[in-house]
Structure 1
Amino acid sequence: MTHNTPLSPRPLRHLSEVHRRVLTTAQLRAHGLTAAEVTEQCRPDGPWQQLLPNVVLLHPGPPTSEERLHGALLYAARESSAPGVPPQPTAETPHAPVYAEAMITGLAALTLYGFSATPPLLSLDHIDVLVPRQRRLRPTGYVRVLRTPALPAPRTVTGLPVAPVPRALADAVAELTDAEAVRRLLTEAVRAGHCEPAAVVRELTQAKLLNRPHVVDAVDSILAEGRSIAENRLYRMVAEYGLPDPVWNVDLRLPGGPHLGGLDAYWPDQAVAVELDTRAPRQDEDALWSEYARKREHLERLGITVVYITPKKLRDSLEQQAAVVRTALMASADRDPAAYVVVLPR
């Protein structure tokens, strides 16, 4: 019997080729095989092999990277409510079973997302699988089990449930001591548009990784990188959507008075300002937001409209952000004139 031999009484037509090559012992029993028959097929010179506990590879020889990934998920996924019944496909993934309460994370997940700074899947010593904290599951073979109080919503990549990029980054960084490797991963995540710096910092903070100097240095680098990317998108928004040219990167002061704050773009004739909200969610987030709020309130008391835009909004909805700024510029005609302020280069 080989993986090409039909199993009964449940046919495997609804499964993709890899799902016919990697099955759990419960699934094999559902197809009519006894435990003794499975053991016989998995003998040292037999046609099958035990890939992981209760997970069988239906051919001899080394597993492919795809088989290793599916085997890891089969090992880690919560069992179906009906024992022995394989997870059923969904409308979104008609040829793949549902892996309940398990997803690929760490370096393997980043490789699936297409990161160039991660090793090939077959060269990874282990594959990280994320499961709920309460699951009783031990690491085994090439599978490393990571636990979390609340599973994030997975992304589907090549038919597999994969942790979102910021979570996968945090799980990968947790095991890396090479400062350059950490910097490359975080930089690629931001530069290639996989996620925003703030989302990365949030996950690293929750994972308590910001007490490691090499991680902090990498975070400072991606925050600077993220601001530069956001500034370029802001320049593009003004040019592509026909907004009047502002003065860029300026400080405002009252004549002979105090400094009012720096702005990324300012339209003096309309008294409209744009500021990029590039706060990173660290311990001082509340204090930093209070500073943002105080500056905004002060400027608006002077008759200056302040539009805050996040890098994520610039990435995902540039046209909509341009409309917000255009509306503020047009509305200036209906407002009382703003107080006179001095505009200085920043």
Structure 2
Amino acid sequence: MNHDTPLSPLPLHHLSGLRSRVLTTRQLREHGVPAAELTERCRPGGCWQQVLPGVYLLHPGAPTSEERLHAVLLYAAHRGTTVPQQTGPSGEPPAAMITGLAALALHGFTEAPPLLGLARIEVLVARTRRLRSTGFAQIVRAVDLPAPQEITGVLTAPVPRALADAVAGLTDASAVRRLLTEAVRGGHCEAAAAVRELSRARLLTRPHVVDAVDTLLAEGRALAEQRLYAVVRGHGLPEPLWNVDLRLPGGPQLGGVDAFWPEHGVALEIDTRAPRPEEDPLHSAFDHKREHLERLGITVVRCLPRTLREAPEQQAAVVRTALMAAPDREPSAYVVVLPR
């Protein structure tokens, strides 16, 4: 038997580049490779090798990092199912996606280990899938799979979910803090989104995670405030009073706001909340404060960190509209402004 006999010349439309050297048993069978030939080629010293159950590498030697990623996805997507399924961000939901530290490396995190340095690659699948971790494939289950992102042809969990899965396996407090800080400082995701996923994963009971989250939220707020300063000054808005507490004369405190234009009766607050899943947003502290201020004739602009980062001109337009509408409103109640 000639071991150099090529595969069937049928084109592999659904595979490309490096992925074409990683195939499942079914794909090989569909391209004319009988079981006997597969066994022969995968003998010790052969030109192919089995890297995971039902997944084969079509060359000798160690797999590249890309080949390991595709092997894990093929194993998780095809194992235990009769219909191969792996779609991109559009179409049917994917059967599997890379998560954890490997996903963070794909997203460009400098604090994540290099892909070749990872002993195991985490792959996210639906909770109902009958799969087990094996070799370098680490199965992670989810009740609901998030929409994946495609990075260099690899279906990858979004940063908040990948962070939660990575943190779940880390006990080093400094490593957790560095990853969470890079997520926000590097613009990969907002602090609230990361904290929300950590909460869903029930990781906020771990002391080293709670400490890192405190740092994360402070980092997120500081960045959002810097971006708000840039929006006000870069779009020609009037300079407000920054970071002040409001109260009624001789009365109760009304709460703090991030910016206040007293002559216009407009207040702005950066909403960095990371609500628990069971929290009713209609009755949150933020909304109670807003309702109280608006009863006093003060317009409250809610400002999201994501909008400041992705659409600063849109945020500037919202603030400008609120300021320009001041002459058409009843004058607001007199409030005392204190630094906070």
RMSD (CA atoms): 2.5
- Tell me by how many angstroms 1:9 deviates: 6.0
- What TM-score, normalized to structure 2? 0.93
What is the match of residue 23 of structure 1? 23
Unpaired runs of at least 5, structure 1? 93-97
- What TM-score, normalized to structure 1? 0.91
1:63 counterpart = 2:63: yes
Answer whether contact 2:97 2:123 (CA < 8 A) is retained.
Answer: yes
The equivalences for 1:72-111 within 5 A come to 72-78=72-78, 100-111=94-105
Provide the aligned length of Structure 1 versus Structure 2. Answer: 339
- Tell me by how many angstroms 1:90 deviates: 7.5
- Tell me by how many angstroms 1:283 deviates: 7.3
Inter-CA distance 139–267: structure 2 relative to 1 (3 Å threshold): same
Choose the corresponding residue for 2:264, options 267, 270, 280: 270
What is the match of residue 308 of structure 2? 314
What is the match of residue 242 of structure 2? 248
- Tell me by how many angstroms 1:72 deviates: 0.6
Tell me which stretches of 4 or more aligned residues in structure 1 moved more than 6 Å.
Answer: 79-83, 86-92
Choose the corresponding residue for 2:273, options 265, 271, 279: 279
What is the match of residue 142 of structure 1? 136
- Tell me by how many angstroms 1:342 deviates: 1.5
Code of the residue aligned with 2:296 in structure 1: it is L
Code of the residue aligned with 1:122 in structure 2: it is L
In structure 1, C-alpha distance between the alignment counterparts of 2:125 and 2:64, rounded to whole Å: 23
Choose the corresponding residue for 1:173, options 136, 154, 167: 167
1:46 counterpart = 2:40: no
In structure 2, C-alpha distance between the alignment counterparts of 1:91 and 1:163, rounded to whole Å: 11
- Tell me by how many angstroms 1:294 deviates: 2.3
Inter-CA distance 87–170: structure 2 relative to 1 (3 Å threshold): closer
What is the match of residue 126 of structure 1? 120
Code of the residue aligned with 2:23 in structure 1: it is L
In structure 1, C-alpha distance between the alignment counterparts of 2:95 and 2:82, rounded to whole Å: 16
What is the match of residue 186 of structure 1? 180
Answer whether contact 1:130 1:145 (CA < 8 A) is retained.
Answer: yes
Unpaired runs of at least 5, structure 2? none
Code of the residue aligned with 1:8 in structure 2: it is S
Q: Counterpart of 2:160 in 1: which secondary structure?
A: helix
Q: Counterpart of 1:77 in 2: which secondary structure?
A: helix
- Tell me by how many angstroms 1:146 deviates: 0.8
Inter-CA distance 38–282: structure 2 relative to 1 (3 Å threshold): same
- Tell me by how many angstroms 1:332 deviates: 0.4
